[in-house]
Amino acid sequence: MIESSLKEKKTNTTEDVNFPIFNAMQAKDHEQVVVCSDPETGLRAFIAIHNTTLGPALGGTRMWMYKTEEEALKDVLRLSRGMTYKSAISGLNLGGGKAVIIGDPHTDKNEALFRAFGRFVDGLGGRYITAEDVGMEVQDMEWIYSETKYVTGIPETLGGSGNPSPVTAYGVYMGAKACAKKAYGNDSLSGKRIALQGAGHVASYFAKHAAKEGAKLFITDIYTEKAQSLADEIGAEVVSPDEIYGLDVDIFTPCALGGVINDDTIDQFKCDIIAGGANNVLDVEERHGQMLLEKGIIYAPDYVINAGGIINISSELEGYNREHAMNRTQKIYDTTLNILQYSEDHEIPTYKASNILAEERIASVGRLKSKYSSKSHFSGRLGEMYMTDRR
């Protein structure tokens, strides 16, 4: 297990109250948090590295108008931990990291800001590799790439994979179909009623997959014009943000921000399945994951079915191949079914089943790291051209 026993060992002392950042990091075994500040460009950002047992921490940069730095820190810690589990359950040799930039993605973007952020990423020397996330575009990643090679999701013209959203959405679609297979005995979404929260990139591509198969979609977004545009394109119905939780549907698909399954919303759900592309949708993982199990709602762990994005961008590190990325993403279907079966066999929530399987892989590979593997280089020696560093 990668979860430490620090919480059991800690005592309630006055000293703990004075170290909220360290407390938050140690609660979930984070390795590092970097605070990035550049007054000239207005950059205010956090980079969080959760675990690097399997490899360098890869995870996207999110730009959002957080109300407080505490809110931003909480988000980056939750997101980076999720990336550790996402890479592990997907069979990738990568650790978990994430970054958040505090700012309005509609008004605060400029080249200098992203290049300043790129310098901070570069300073980590490859411990953290960034990518595109909520509030970011391919152009933003290109500006970051101007200052560091430790970035993925760059334009195809530069040798990257471009926008990862189509692949992420395909993985969500595969995960939803796996849940349908478990719930209904077949994986067809034809005729299924789906409540889609969000009308951004991932939500839009998912909606097109589902609509093409014959699903009936109800869409909401905090930007009504985005929801209406998508609804018009695929023949869906727009509902208000508050209405989305209580709809009588088969599947609820959260594709916006996290924490939407919480004490205020959980009793409103009338669906059989919750499967979406948003990260950390369980506000309190242990509490709300158990409540979904007791309500008989099948929950696809978010970091499992939205892993198509990291599968896609991680392939850039090996030389990007779209067909290979899509084939690997399709396997999310089988991974989801395995987790649902493990959950049923052990009578535990699906989030816990997924965490256990991910932690087992991290622990297994971690034991190998105790064995010495030389990193020496011999300049000019025969065979040097194919020698590589091995962790």
In the structure encoding, which two tokens stand for residue 323, read together? 């067909």
d(CA 348, CA 241): 31
Q: Are 236 and 207 in contact (CB under 8 A)?
A: yes
128 forms beta bridges with 57
**pLDDT at position 132:** 87
Q: Mind telling me the catalytic residues?
A: 98
d(CA 77, CA 100): 10
Of the options 3.40.50.10860, 3.40.50.300, 2.10.77.10, 3.20.19.10, the CATH number for the domain spanning 31-78+94-158? 3.40.50.10860
**pLDDT at position 375:** 55
Superfamily of domain 165-361: NAD(P)-binding Rossmann-like Domain (3.40.50.720)
Residuewise pLDDT in 10s, the chain (391 residues): 555 433 444 444 445 778 999 999 999 999 999 999 999 999 999 999 999 999 999 999 999 999 999 999 999 999 999 999 999 999 999 999 999 999 999 999 999 999 999 999 999 999 999 998 889 988 899 999 999 999 998 888 888 887 888 999 999 999 999 999 999 999 999 999 999 999 999 999 999 999 999 999 999 999 999 999 999 999 999 999 999 999 999 999 999 988 999 999 999 999 999 999 998 899 999 999 999 999 999 999 999 999 999 999 898 887 888 899 999 999 999 999 999 999 999 999 999 999 999 999 999 998 887 666 655 544 444 443 333 443 3
**pLDDT at position 383:** 40
**pLDDT at position 235:** 97
Q: Decide whether 31-78+94-158 matches 165-361 in CATH topology.
A: yes
Domain ranges in the chain are 31-78+94-158, 165-361
